[in-house]
Each structure stands twice: as C-alpha cells, then as structure tokens.
Copies of this chain bind each other. A is one copy, B any other.
Amino acid sequence: MQTAVPLNDQLAAQTKVALRRLASAVAVVTCRDGQARHAMTATAVNAMSMQPPSMIVCVTRASAFHAALSRAGSFAINILHRGQVQISQGCGGTVRGEDRFGLGGWSEDHGVPVLPDAQACIVCVREGRFDYGSHTIFLGRVTSVAIQGTVDPLIYVDGRYTGLPTDEDCAPPFQSQIDMLCAGFGQSLS
C-alpha cells in the first residue's frame, strides 16, 4: 500500500525542483539591531519600484535575522561578486552570528554593515512588510548605493554556485591542452 503524500508536501517538493531553475544573483542582507550586527545570505531579492527607488527581500520567519530586521530601521543588500562564495556560505549558515563579519572586509554606511568589495551595496530604510505563510517580504526605500568593480556577480542555480560565462572560463584548459599538444608534437619531432 502506498503512503499518501499530502498535496501541499507534493507541491512544495515540485516547486522546489522548479526553483532550482530560477537562477539568481546572491546577496547578503545586513542590518543592525542595537549593538548587534546581523547578516543573512538571500537570493529572494528584487527591485520593487523606481518611484521611489525601493527594494524587497523575502525572509523566513523562523530565522534570527527576521527578528533583527523586524526591529532594525535600515538594511543593506550586498550583491556578491563571483569570488565571494565563502561569504555566501558563511552567511547562509556555516558561520554563526557576529562571526559572519569575520568573512570579508566589512564597513558601515549610516550604521548599517556593508561589504565595500561586493558588486553593489544598496542601503534602504525599512518602509513596509508583507507577511504570508512562512515568510515576510521586507520593503526598503533606497537611501544610498555603492558600486564596485566590473560586472561579475555570484550566481546560484541548481543547488550550486557559478558565474557568468567568460573568456577566462575557457582559457586555462584551452591553453593547457594546447601546451600538451605542442609538447606531444615537439617530442615526436625531436
């Protein structure tokens, strides 16, 4: 006899499979709650409006970050660079609390922790929230923006990290193969 899986659980499992295909940039969202700094890796980050410039971030109510962000007046969205996998993993769960700020060179913008060598830091004043199910959408009106370096964001898709296709992706194996081939020809000619 088959055990019936509740419809909601089936749909959740299928939705998760579909979401593995919803490639997205990776951001670390940060805030200050009194003396304590908080950071959490998030992929559910989007623009809301440009009139006024505003952003949304979706956070699970089960997290300590949710409690901190509910009290904080401001937050920052730090869009990570391809080279910042360790920061993503740390702020995604492998490192706890204040120790997350030991990963990377953190700074502050109006009291909010920011990561100056991220692809972009967008600081927002929290202006609204929308609760549904297990999560809350926090809405922030943008108050400052900083950009760093060329466009090369960290991307999360299909349960793994990647970056954009670049010439450099191909160059090392290509050059090593050429060297090997040429070495082979050199030997056969000597």
Q: Which residues of A contact B (CB under 8 A)?
A: 8, 11-12, 14-25, 27, 43-56, 58, 79, 119-122, 127-128, 130, 132-135, 137, 139, 142-145, 147, 151, 153, 155, 157-158, 162-166, 169-170, 173-174, 177-178, 181-182, 185, 189
Contact = CB atoms under 8 A, between A and B. Distances in A.
Contact of A50 (B20, B47, B134, B147): B134
A20 B177 contact: no
26 contacts: A11-B52, A12-B51, A15-B55, A15-B142, A17-B145, A18-B145, A19-B47, A21-B151, A21-B153, A24-B25, A47-B58, A49-B134, A50-B134, A51-B133, A52-B133, A128-B130, A151-B157, A151-B158, A163-B165, A170-B173, A170-B174, A173-B174, A174-B174, A178-B178, A185-B185, A189-B189
A153 B181 CA distance: 35
Nearest to A47: B19
Copies in the complex: 2
Nearest to A151: B158
Contacts of A53: 8, 11-12, 14-15
A108 B64 CA distance: 42
A84 to B, nearest CB: 12
A8 to B, nearest CB: 6
Given A14-B145, A137-B130, A48 B58 contact: yes
Given A50-B133, A130-B137, A163-B165, 11 more contacts: A11-B144, A14-B142, A14-B145, A18-B121, A23-B23, A24-B25, A25-B157, A43-B46, A44-B47, A51-B133, A178-B181
